[in-house]
Structure 1
Amino acid sequence: MKELEDIIKTKTDIALAKKTVLNISLTNVNFKDSISHVLKSFDISIEQFNVLRILRGQHGKPTNLQDIQDRMVSKMSNTTRLVDKLILKGFVERFICEDNRRKVEIFITKKGLEALQSIDPKVLLVETELTAALSIEELTTLNTLLTKLRK
Protein backbone atom coordinates (compact mmCIF):
# COMPACT_ATOMS: atom_id res chain seq x y z
CA MET A 1 0.00 0.00 0.00
CA LYS A 2 1.27 3.47 -0.84
CA GLU A 3 2.45 5.67 1.94
CA LEU A 4 -0.01 8.37 2.98
CA GLU A 5 2.36 11.09 1.83
CA ASP A 6 2.43 9.59 -1.68
CA ILE A 7 -1.36 9.60 -1.90
CA ILE A 8 -2.29 12.87 -0.23
CA LYS A 9 -0.58 16.07 -1.22
CA THR A 10 -2.55 18.74 0.65
CA LYS A 11 -5.12 19.27 3.38
CA THR A 12 -7.63 19.88 0.61
CA ASP A 13 -6.97 16.37 -0.69
CA ILE A 14 -7.63 14.97 2.79
CA ALA A 15 -10.87 16.94 3.16
CA LEU A 16 -12.06 15.92 -0.30
CA ALA A 17 -11.27 12.25 0.33
CA LYS A 18 -13.24 12.35 3.61
CA LYS A 19 -16.14 14.18 1.96
CA THR A 20 -16.24 11.66 -0.90
CA VAL A 21 -16.31 8.63 1.38
CA LEU A 22 -18.97 10.24 3.57
CA ASN A 23 -21.11 11.16 0.54
CA ILE A 24 -20.91 7.64 -0.86
CA SER A 25 -21.78 6.18 2.56
CA LEU A 26 -24.77 8.51 3.03
CA THR A 27 -26.00 7.80 -0.49
CA ASN A 28 -25.71 4.06 0.15
CA VAL A 29 -27.82 4.35 3.30
CA ASN A 30 -30.40 6.48 1.49
CA PHE A 31 -30.64 4.01 -1.40
CA LYS A 32 -30.87 0.98 0.90
CA ASP A 33 -33.57 2.63 3.03
CA SER A 34 -35.66 3.45 -0.05
CA ILE A 35 -35.39 -0.04 -1.50
CA SER A 36 -35.97 -1.67 1.91
CA HIS A 37 -39.17 0.35 2.26
CA VAL A 38 -40.50 -1.12 -0.99
CA LEU A 39 -39.44 -4.66 -0.08
CA LYS A 40 -41.04 -4.39 3.37
CA SER A 41 -44.51 -4.62 1.81
CA PHE A 42 -43.43 -7.99 0.34
CA ASP A 43 -41.99 -9.12 3.69
CA ILE A 44 -38.47 -9.64 2.33
CA SER A 45 -35.14 -7.98 3.00
CA ILE A 46 -32.68 -6.57 0.48
CA GLU A 47 -30.46 -9.60 1.07
CA GLN A 48 -33.35 -12.03 0.45
CA PHE A 49 -34.22 -10.09 -2.71
CA ASN A 50 -30.60 -10.43 -3.81
CA VAL A 51 -30.70 -14.22 -3.27
CA LEU A 52 -33.91 -14.48 -5.31
CA ARG A 53 -32.35 -12.52 -8.18
CA ILE A 54 -29.24 -14.70 -8.09
CA LEU A 55 -31.37 -17.85 -8.24
CA ARG A 56 -33.52 -16.45 -11.05
CA GLY A 57 -30.31 -15.82 -12.98
CA GLN A 58 -29.59 -19.56 -12.85
CA HIS A 59 -32.49 -20.10 -15.32
CA GLY A 60 -33.74 -23.24 -13.56
CA LYS A 61 -30.31 -24.72 -12.90
CA PRO A 62 -29.37 -25.54 -9.32
CA THR A 63 -26.79 -23.62 -7.36
CA ASN A 64 -25.21 -24.06 -3.95
CA LEU A 65 -24.75 -21.87 -0.90
CA GLN A 66 -21.14 -21.01 -1.73
CA ASP A 67 -22.03 -19.79 -5.23
CA ILE A 68 -24.83 -17.65 -3.80
CA GLN A 69 -22.50 -16.25 -1.12
CA ASP A 70 -19.86 -15.40 -3.75
CA ARG A 71 -22.41 -13.43 -5.78
CA MET A 72 -24.05 -11.58 -2.87
CA VAL A 73 -23.75 -7.80 -2.80
CA SER A 74 -23.22 -7.93 0.96
CA LYS A 75 -20.53 -10.52 1.67
CA MET A 76 -21.42 -10.38 5.38
CA SER A 77 -24.83 -11.98 4.80
CA ASN A 78 -25.61 -15.32 6.42
CA THR A 79 -26.61 -17.12 3.25
CA THR A 80 -27.84 -20.25 5.03
CA ARG A 81 -30.23 -18.20 7.18
CA LEU A 82 -31.43 -16.20 4.15
CA VAL A 83 -32.16 -19.37 2.17
CA ASP A 84 -33.94 -20.90 5.19
CA LYS A 85 -36.23 -17.87 5.42
CA LEU A 86 -36.96 -17.99 1.70
CA ILE A 87 -37.78 -21.71 1.98
CA LEU A 88 -40.31 -20.91 4.73
CA LYS A 89 -41.96 -18.38 2.38
CA GLY A 90 -42.08 -20.98 -0.41
CA PHE A 91 -39.81 -18.91 -2.68
CA VAL A 92 -36.90 -21.38 -2.70
CA GLU A 93 -36.38 -25.14 -2.49
CA ARG A 94 -33.32 -26.99 -1.24
CA PHE A 95 -32.46 -30.56 -2.19
CA ILE A 96 -29.68 -32.84 -1.07
CA CYS A 97 -27.98 -34.48 -4.04
CA GLU A 98 -28.56 -38.24 -3.95
CA ASP A 99 -25.14 -39.00 -5.48
CA ASN A 100 -23.24 -36.75 -3.06
CA ARG A 101 -25.03 -36.18 0.26
CA ARG A 102 -22.72 -33.23 1.05
CA LYS A 103 -23.93 -31.37 -2.04
CA VAL A 104 -26.97 -29.17 -1.50
CA GLU A 105 -28.80 -27.79 -4.53
CA ILE A 106 -30.93 -24.68 -4.29
CA PHE A 107 -33.65 -23.65 -6.76
CA ILE A 108 -36.07 -20.75 -7.02
CA THR A 109 -39.71 -21.88 -7.04
CA LYS A 110 -42.55 -20.72 -9.28
CA LYS A 111 -43.83 -18.73 -6.29
CA GLY A 112 -40.40 -17.07 -5.97
CA LEU A 113 -40.39 -16.14 -9.66
CA GLU A 114 -43.93 -14.76 -9.35
CA ALA A 115 -42.88 -12.70 -6.32
CA LEU A 116 -40.01 -11.23 -8.33
CA GLN A 117 -42.42 -10.33 -11.13
CA SER A 118 -44.40 -8.28 -8.61
CA ILE A 119 -41.37 -6.81 -6.84
CA ASP A 120 -39.18 -5.90 -9.83
CA PRO A 121 -41.33 -3.06 -11.23
CA LYS A 122 -41.64 -1.41 -7.82
CA VAL A 123 -37.89 -1.63 -7.16
CA LEU A 124 -37.18 -0.33 -10.68
CA LEU A 125 -39.44 2.65 -10.04
CA VAL A 126 -37.55 3.50 -6.82
CA GLU A 127 -34.17 3.04 -8.54
CA THR A 128 -35.29 5.33 -11.34
CA GLU A 129 -36.53 7.95 -8.86
CA LEU A 130 -33.29 7.76 -6.86
CA THR A 131 -31.19 8.43 -9.96
CA ALA A 132 -33.54 10.86 -11.74
CA ALA A 133 -31.44 13.93 -10.83
CA LEU A 134 -28.63 12.68 -13.08
CA SER A 135 -28.52 12.55 -16.86
CA ILE A 136 -27.69 9.34 -18.73
CA GLU A 137 -24.17 10.69 -19.33
CA GLU A 138 -23.75 11.50 -15.63
CA LEU A 139 -25.00 8.06 -14.62
CA THR A 140 -22.57 6.44 -17.05
CA THR A 141 -19.70 8.51 -15.66
CA LEU A 142 -20.74 7.82 -12.07
CA ASN A 143 -20.85 4.07 -12.72
CA THR A 144 -17.41 4.19 -14.33
CA LEU A 145 -15.98 6.14 -11.39
CA LEU A 146 -17.56 3.89 -8.74
CA THR A 147 -16.25 0.80 -10.51
CA LYS A 148 -12.81 2.41 -10.61
CA LEU A 149 -12.94 3.03 -6.84
CA ARG A 150 -13.66 -0.65 -6.16
CA LYS A 151 -10.61 -1.90 -8.09
Structure 2
Amino acid sequence: FAHEVHPSEIAYDYWTTVRTLEAIGHREAFGLNWDPSHMVWQDLDPVAFLLDFKDRIYHVDCKDTRKRMSNGRNGRLGSHLPWADPRRGWDFISTGHGDVPWEDAFRMLNHIGYTGPISVEWEDAGMDRLVGAPEALEFVRRLAFDAPDAAFDAAFASKE
Protein backbone atom coordinates (compact mmCIF):
# COMPACT_ATOMS: atom_id res chain seq x y z
CA PHE A 1 0.00 0.00 0.00
CA ALA A 2 1.28 3.49 -0.87
CA HIS A 3 -0.49 6.31 0.98
CA GLU A 4 -0.49 9.65 -0.85
CA VAL A 5 0.55 12.39 1.56
CA HIS A 6 -1.83 15.32 1.04
CA PRO A 7 -4.46 17.35 2.89
CA SER A 8 -7.65 15.46 3.75
CA GLU A 9 -5.63 12.31 4.48
CA ILE A 10 -4.39 10.99 7.83
CA ALA A 11 -0.82 11.84 6.82
CA TYR A 12 -0.88 15.16 4.96
CA ASP A 13 2.49 16.77 5.75
CA TYR A 14 5.86 15.90 7.28
CA TRP A 15 4.86 15.64 10.94
CA THR A 16 1.55 13.87 10.35
CA THR A 17 3.50 11.33 8.29
CA VAL A 18 5.89 10.78 11.20
CA ARG A 19 2.95 10.39 13.60
CA THR A 20 1.06 8.04 11.27
CA LEU A 21 4.06 5.74 10.89
CA GLU A 22 4.56 5.74 14.67
CA ALA A 23 0.86 4.97 15.25
CA ILE A 24 1.00 1.86 13.06
CA GLY A 25 4.34 0.67 14.40
CA HIS A 26 6.15 1.43 11.14
CA ARG A 27 4.32 -1.49 9.53
CA GLU A 28 6.23 -2.47 6.37
CA ALA A 29 3.03 -2.88 4.34
CA PHE A 30 2.33 0.85 4.74
CA GLY A 31 4.37 2.87 2.27
CA LEU A 32 4.13 6.32 0.75
CA ASN A 33 3.18 7.62 -2.66
CA TRP A 34 5.49 10.62 -3.07
CA ASP A 35 3.57 13.38 -4.84
CA PRO A 36 5.54 16.63 -4.48
CA SER A 37 2.71 18.81 -5.79
CA HIS A 38 0.97 18.68 -2.41
CA MET A 39 4.17 19.46 -0.53
CA VAL A 40 5.15 22.52 -2.55
CA TRP A 41 1.99 24.52 -1.87
CA GLN A 42 2.37 23.72 1.85
CA ASP A 43 5.98 25.02 1.73
CA LEU A 44 7.39 21.60 2.58
CA ASP A 45 10.68 20.48 1.06
CA PRO A 46 9.78 17.51 -1.18
CA VAL A 47 13.42 16.49 -1.66
CA ALA A 48 14.14 16.40 2.08
CA PHE A 49 10.95 14.34 2.45
CA LEU A 50 12.42 11.73 0.07
CA LEU A 51 15.60 11.49 2.12
CA ASP A 52 13.84 11.31 5.48
CA PHE A 53 11.30 8.70 4.36
CA LYS A 54 13.54 6.83 1.90
CA ASP A 55 12.53 3.38 3.13
CA ARG A 56 8.83 4.26 2.76
CA ILE A 57 8.69 5.59 -0.81
CA TYR A 58 6.77 2.89 -2.69
CA HIS A 59 5.50 4.98 -5.61
CA VAL A 60 6.33 8.32 -7.25
CA ASP A 61 3.73 10.62 -8.82
CA CYS A 62 5.19 13.37 -11.00
CA LYS A 63 2.69 16.18 -10.58
CA ASP A 64 3.60 19.85 -10.35
CA THR A 65 2.33 22.94 -8.54
CA ARG A 66 2.90 26.63 -9.06
CA LYS A 67 2.52 29.05 -6.15
CA ARG A 68 1.18 32.59 -6.65
CA MET A 69 1.15 33.99 -3.13
CA SER A 70 3.64 36.84 -3.38
CA ASN A 71 1.12 39.59 -4.17
CA GLY A 72 -0.40 39.69 -0.68
CA ARG A 73 -3.90 38.82 -1.94
CA ASN A 74 -3.71 35.15 -2.91
CA GLY A 75 -3.84 32.65 -0.06
CA ARG A 76 -2.69 29.11 0.48
CA LEU A 77 -6.21 27.70 0.89
CA GLY A 78 -7.33 28.60 -2.63
CA SER A 79 -10.30 30.79 -1.58
CA HIS A 80 -12.74 28.28 -3.14
CA LEU A 81 -11.84 29.65 -6.56
CA PRO A 82 -11.83 27.42 -9.65
CA TRP A 83 -8.62 25.77 -10.79
CA ALA A 84 -6.54 28.00 -13.11
CA ASP A 85 -8.08 31.17 -11.67
CA PRO A 86 -5.13 33.60 -11.29
CA ARG A 87 -6.50 34.73 -7.92
CA ARG A 88 -5.72 31.33 -6.39
CA GLY A 89 -2.57 31.17 -4.26
CA TRP A 90 -1.45 27.97 -5.96
CA ASP A 91 -2.53 25.65 -8.73
CA PHE A 92 -1.68 22.27 -10.16
CA ILE A 93 0.24 22.81 -13.36
CA SER A 94 1.75 20.63 -16.07
CA THR A 95 4.81 18.74 -14.82
CA GLY A 96 7.94 20.76 -15.47
CA HIS A 97 6.19 24.15 -15.48
CA GLY A 98 5.80 24.62 -11.73
CA ASP A 99 7.82 24.97 -8.56
CA VAL A 100 8.79 21.34 -7.87
CA PRO A 101 12.62 20.99 -7.92
CA TRP A 102 12.52 18.05 -10.33
CA GLU A 103 16.21 17.59 -11.04
CA ASP A 104 17.06 17.61 -7.33
CA ALA A 105 14.21 15.16 -6.74
CA PHE A 106 15.41 12.68 -9.36
CA ARG A 107 18.97 12.93 -8.08
CA MET A 108 17.65 12.17 -4.58
CA LEU A 109 15.62 9.23 -5.88
CA ASN A 110 18.86 7.84 -7.30
CA HIS A 111 20.70 8.57 -4.05
CA ILE A 112 18.18 6.66 -1.94
CA GLY A 113 18.19 3.75 -4.41
CA TYR A 114 14.56 4.09 -5.48
CA THR A 115 13.71 1.66 -8.30
CA GLY A 116 9.93 1.55 -8.01
CA PRO A 117 7.21 2.89 -10.30
CA ILE A 118 7.20 6.47 -11.53
CA SER A 119 3.95 7.89 -12.93
CA VAL A 120 2.96 11.19 -14.46
CA GLU A 121 -0.18 12.43 -12.73
CA TRP A 122 -1.16 15.20 -15.09
CA GLU A 123 -3.43 18.03 -13.91
CA ASP A 124 -3.52 21.50 -15.42
CA ALA A 125 -6.81 23.35 -15.87
CA GLY A 126 -5.04 25.96 -18.00
CA MET A 127 -3.50 23.68 -20.65
CA ASP A 128 -4.94 21.24 -23.15
CA ARG A 129 -4.19 17.69 -22.00
CA LEU A 130 -3.27 16.54 -25.52
CA VAL A 131 -0.42 19.06 -25.44
CA GLY A 132 0.50 18.94 -21.76
CA ALA A 133 0.41 15.25 -20.93
CA PRO A 134 2.84 14.09 -23.66
CA GLU A 135 5.12 17.04 -22.89
CA ALA A 136 5.10 16.12 -19.17
CA LEU A 137 5.91 12.50 -19.97
CA GLU A 138 8.88 13.55 -22.11
CA PHE A 139 10.07 15.89 -19.36
CA VAL A 140 10.02 13.07 -16.80
CA ARG A 141 11.73 10.63 -19.16
CA ARG A 142 14.63 13.08 -19.59
CA LEU A 143 15.04 13.33 -15.81
CA ALA A 144 14.65 9.63 -15.00
CA PHE A 145 18.35 8.95 -15.54
CA ASP A 146 20.18 6.09 -13.88
CA ALA A 147 22.60 6.63 -11.05
CA PRO A 148 26.26 6.07 -11.97
CA ASP A 149 27.71 2.58 -11.52
CA ALA A 150 30.68 3.95 -9.56
CA ALA A 151 31.61 7.10 -7.72
CA PHE A 152 32.75 9.93 -9.99
CA ASP A 153 36.18 10.10 -8.40
CA ALA A 154 36.71 6.31 -8.59
CA ALA A 155 38.22 6.74 -12.07
CA PHE A 156 41.04 8.80 -10.56
CA ALA A 157 41.97 5.96 -8.22
CA SER A 158 42.57 3.54 -11.10
CA LYS A 159 46.12 2.24 -11.41
CA GLU A 160 45.84 1.82 -15.19
Provide the TM-score with structure 2 as the length reference: 0.23
Structure number with greater Rg is 1
Structure with a larger share of its residues in strand:
2
Structure with a larger share of its residues in helix:
1
